[in-house]
A and B are shown apart, each in its own frame.
Chain A
Amino acid sequence: MHIPDGYLSPTTCVALYAAATPFWYVAGTRIKKTLSMRMVPLLSVFAAFSFIIMMFNLPLPGGTTGHATGAALAAIVLGPWAAVISVSIALVIQAVFFGDGGILAIGANSFTMAIVGVFVAHYTYRIIAGKTAVSASRRVVAAAFAGYLSINAAAFVTAVLFGIQPLFFTDSNGAPLYAPYTLDIAIPAMMIGHLGIAGFAELIVTAGVVGYLQKNDISLLSMSDVGTPIVAGTLQSGLRSARTLWLIIAGLLVLTPLGLIAAGTAWGEWGATELVAQDGGKTLTNAPTGLLQYANVWKAPVPDYAVSFVSSEQLGYILSGVMGVGLIIITMLLVTYIGARISRRNEHTNP
C-alpha cells in the first residue's frame, strides 16, 4: 500500500528520505554513465509506464481484485537501477497529483516499493532464472516469485515502519501519535492481505508479462541480461556498490531505532523504559479480551514474535522492532551474498 501522511512520524519520514537518497544518487550516476543522453527519455517513458500499471485492476482468484506496483516487472526489464528511478518518479506523481500516498511519506514509499521491492525482485529473478535461456519457462516462474516476494518484502518493511511508530512516538500518556499498532499487530495485519491477495496481483502481472514478452518481444527481456546499455547494473557490475549500499542501509536501520530513542528523550518524550517505570503497566491492561484473542490469531503466522500484545514489557517492543529490522537486513545481505555467488559462478562459466 501507499503510506499516507500521518501514519509515520516526521522523524521516520526524514530517516527514510535519508535512506533512499544514496540509492537515488547511485542509480542516477550509474544510469547517467550507461545510458548517457538516453537517460531522460527512457526514464520518463518508463516512469509513465510504471504509473499506468499501478492503475490496472486485476480480478484475482477468490473473488477479489488487486493491482500491482510494477516494481518487479520494471526490475526485470530495466535492471534494478533504472527501475528504482522509474518507480520512484511514478510514486512522486501519484503522491503529489493523485493524493495516492503522502507527500512526507514519498521517501518511505519509495524506500519500500522502489528500493526494497525492486531489489528483492531483481535478485529473486536472477537467482531463480539462473543461466536459463531468455525464452525458458523457468523465467516465467522466476518472474512469478520475483513479483510475489517483491511486493511482500515491501509490505513487510511498511509493516515494520508502522509497527515501530507506537514504540517511539507516543504522547505524555503513552497514547500513540502515529500508526497506533505495534509490530505484533501491524505485521500480521499487513502480511495477511499481501501474502493472500496483493501478492498474487503482482505475481500475475509480472509472470504474465514476462510470458507475453517471451512470445512477442523477447528482445525486451534480454536487454538487462546481455549487457546492452539499458542494464544499468546487472549483478556483476552493480554488485560492489550495491553491497556498500546495503551495508549503509543496514547501519541506518540499526541506528534509526537507537537515534529515535535518543531523540525521544531529548524531546521530553518518555523513553520506552521510563514509561514502564512510571506507569507500572497500570493503564495498559484494559484492552478487551475479545480483541486480544483476535490479536493472537493475527500473531499465528509469526510465532516467533514472543512479545505478547499488552505484555507491558516495553523493552520487548523495542526488541521486536529491532528484530524486525534485523530480519530485513539479514535477508537483504543473504540475498546479496547468494546473488554474488551466482554471478561469480556465471562469470566463470561464461566469460
Chain B
Amino acid sequence: MDALFTLNNIRYDYANTAQPALHDVSMTIMRGQRVAIMGANGSGKSTLLRILDGLYFPKSGTITAFGEPLDEHHLMDDTYAHAFRKRVAFVFQNPDVQLFNPTVYDEVAFGPLQMRWDKEKIARSVAETLDMLEISHLRDRAPHRLSGGEKKRVAIASVLILDPEVILLDEPTAALDPKSQSMVVDFLVGWANSGKTIVTATHDLDTVPDIADDAYIFQQGTIVAHDTPANLLQNHELLLAANLIHAHHHHHDGVPHTHPHFHLGHEHDHSGEI
C-alpha cells in the first residue's frame, strides 16, 4: 500500500469567520483504503474533502497527492490538472450542485468532454456507465424531473465515467429514502472491492461500518479521534462530545435516566440546498 494523500498541519479559514474551518489536520490516506470522516455539521469535514479534491487550498500546512504537492500552482497546468481530475472524483452532498447540465446524458458526458475524449469513446462510455448504474432510461431527462435517489445515481455516474482511483463523497446518504440509501451503500461496497480508495464524510453512523475500515472524528475543525470504525462507534462518550449522537433523557420507573442515542439516518443536512 502506498500513500495517496498526505496532509501535514493543514489550516483553512473562511473569509468571514473568526474560527478556522480546519486547523492542525494531519492524516495519510493509503491506496485502496476506505476512510470515514465523521463529524457534526460545521466540523470541517466538507472543507477537508474540498481540500483533498484540489478545490480549496490550505492557508498553511502541506498536502501531497500521488506523491506530488497539490497546490494552486500545479493545478494551473492543464496536463497536471486533467490527470488529477481524472484520478480523483467528488460527489457533492447537494445533487443540485453536482448536476448542472440540462439532461442526464449531458451530465454524464461532461467530464469526458472536458478531457477531450473522442466522440465515439464518449458515447460508448456514457452508455456503459448509465447501464452500470441502471439509469439508462433516464438518459434524456432533465435533472429537475428526477427523484432524490435518481439524482444521486446520476451524480455518481457523472464522476465514475472517468474511472477515478479515488472517490470523495460528501454525505452520500443524506436526504435519501432508505431504499436509495442502501443502494448507494451497496454500490460503494462493490466499487471499493475493485481496489479503489473511498473517502466519505458523513454523520450517518449506521453506514460507517459498511463503507469504511478507517475512521476519523472531527470536531471544530480538527481531528479528535482516529481509529477503526468499530472502536470509535463503541466510544459513546466521544460520539456524544462530537455531537454525533445526543443524550436521550427519559424516566424508568420514576428514575431519571440518560443514555446516548443513535440517529438512524434521518438527520439531514439541508444547509447546502437551495
The answer to whether any beta carbons of A and B sit under 8 Å apart in the complex is yes
The answer to whether B100 touches A219, judged by C-beta atoms less than 8 angstroms apart, is: no
Q: Which of B2-24 contact A (CB under 8 A)?
A: 16
The answer to whether B16 touches A41, judged by C-beta atoms less than 8 angstroms apart, is: no
CA–CA, A219 to B15, complex, Å?
11
CA–CA, A219 to B100, complex, Å?
25
Interface string of B116-131 (1 = CB under 8 A from A): 0000000000000000
On chain B, the residues within 8 Å of A219 by CB distance are 16
Interface string of B94-131 (1 = CB under 8 A from A): 00000010000000000000000000000000000000
Residue of A nearest to B16 (CB): A219
On chain B, the residues within 8 Å of A44 by CB distance are 100
On chain A, the residues within 8 Å of B16 by CB distance are 219
CA–CA, A44 to B16, complex, Å?
26
CA–CA, A220 to B16, complex, Å?
13
A132 to chain B, nearest CB (A): 22
CA–CA, A219 to B16, complex, Å?
10
Chain B contact-residue range equals: under 10
Residue of A nearest to B97 (CB): A41
Residue of B nearest to A219 (CB): B16
B62 to chain A, nearest CB (A): 25
On chain A, the residues within 8 Å of B100 by CB distance are 41, 44
Interface string of A9-48 (1 = CB under 8 A from B): 0000000000000000000000000000000010010000
B145 to chain A, nearest CB (A): 16
B114 to chain A, nearest CB (A): 12
On chain B, the residues within 8 Å of A41 by CB distance are 100
CA–CA, A44 to B96, complex, Å?
14
Interface string of A183-225 (1 = CB under 8 A from B): 0000000000000000000000000000000000001000000
Q: Which of B174-195 contact A (CB under 8 A)?
A: none
Residue of A nearest to B274 (CB): A45
A327 to chain B, nearest CB (A): 43
CA–CA, A41 to B98, complex, Å?
12
Residue of B nearest to A41 (CB): B100
A147 to chain B, nearest CB (A): 25
CA–CA, A41 to B100, complex, Å?
9
B128 to chain A, nearest CB (A): 28
Residue of A nearest to B15 (CB): A219
CA–CA, A44 to B100, complex, Å?
10
A229 to chain B, nearest CB (A): 14
CA–CA, A109 to B16, complex, Å?
39
CA–CA, A44 to B102, complex, Å?
12
B13 to chain A, nearest CB (A): 16
A174 to chain B, nearest CB (A): 49
B143 to chain A, nearest CB (A): 13
A223 to chain B, nearest CB (A): 12
CA–CA, A319 to B231, complex, Å?
88
Residue of B nearest to A40 (CB): B100
B57 to chain A, nearest CB (A): 15
A218 to chain B, nearest CB (A): 10
B5 to chain A, nearest CB (A): 24
Residue of B nearest to A44 (CB): B100
B78 to chain A, nearest CB (A): 12
A191 to chain B, nearest CB (A): 38
A272 to chain B, nearest CB (A): 48
A150 to chain B, nearest CB (A): 27
Q: Which 3 pairs of residues, A with B, have the shortest CB-CB distance? A: A41-B100, A219-B16, A44-B100
| A contacts, CB < 8 Å to B | 41, 44, 219
Q: 3 A-B Cβ contacts within 8 A? A: A41-B100, A44-B100, A219-B16
